Structure 1
Amino acid sequence: VMRADRRVDGLAYARASVGGDDATQAVLEICRRLDRRDINALLLSGAAISWFNIIDLVAVFEEVSRPLICLTYEESEGLEKYLREYFPESEEKIERYRTLGGREKIKLKTGYELFVRVHGATVEEARILLNKFTLDGRVPEPVRLARMAARAARKVEEGLASGSE
Structure 2
Amino acid sequence: MMHLEKPGIRILGIAESYRNRESSLLCGIVMRRDLIIDGCAFSKATIGGKDATNAVLDIWNTLGRDDINAILLSGCIISWFNIIDSDHIREVTGIPVIGVSYEESDGLHDDIRHHFPEDEERLSCYLKLGARISYPLSTGKTIYLRAWGTDHGAAGRLCNIFTRQGHVPEPVRVARLVARGADRFYDYR
The TM tier, using the shorter chain, reads over 0.9
Equivalent positions of 1:12-161 (< 5 A) are 12-160=41-189
Q: Deviation at 1:15?
A: 0.5
**What is the identity, as a one-letter code, of the residue corresponding to 2:83?**
I
**What SS does structure 2 have at the residue aligned with 1:82?**
helix
Distance in 2 of aligned mates of 1:59 and 1:13:
20
Distance in 1 of aligned mates of 2:118 and 2:182:
33
**What SS does structure 2 have at the residue aligned with 1:69?**
strand
Q: Deviation at 1:89?
A: 1.9
**What SS does structure 2 have at the residue aligned with 1:99?**
helix
Which of the pair is proportionally richer in strand? 2
Distance in 1 of aligned mates of 2:173 and 2:72:
11
Q: Deviation at 1:97?
A: 0.4
TM-score by length of 2: 0.83
**What is the identity, as a one-letter code, of the residue corresponding to 1:123?**
H
Which of the pair is proportionally richer in helix? 1
Name the residue aligned to 1:163. Answer: none
Q: Deviations over 1:84-105 (max 9, x none)?
A: 1111121111110010001111
**What is the identity, as a one-letter code, of the residue corresponding to 1:153?**
A
- Over the residues paired in the alignment, what is the CA RMSD in angstroms? 0.7
Q: Which runs of 5+ in 1 are unaligned?
A: 161-165
**What SS does structure 1 have at the residue aligned with 2:46?**
coil
Identity %: 47
Distance in 2 of aligned mates of 1:73 and 1:83:
20
Distance in 1 of aligned mates of 2:64 and 2:113:
37
Distance in 2 of aligned mates of 1:31 and 1:80:
29
Structure with more relative contact order (C-alpha pairs < 8 Å, separation 6 or more): 2
Q: Deviations over 1:123-164 (max 9, x none)?
A: 11112111111000000000100000100111011222xxxx
Distance in 1 of aligned mates of 2:140 and 2:175:
23
Aligned length: 160
Q: Which runs of 5+ in 2 are unaligned?
A: 1-29
**What is the identity, as a one-letter code, of the residue corresponding to 2:36?**
R
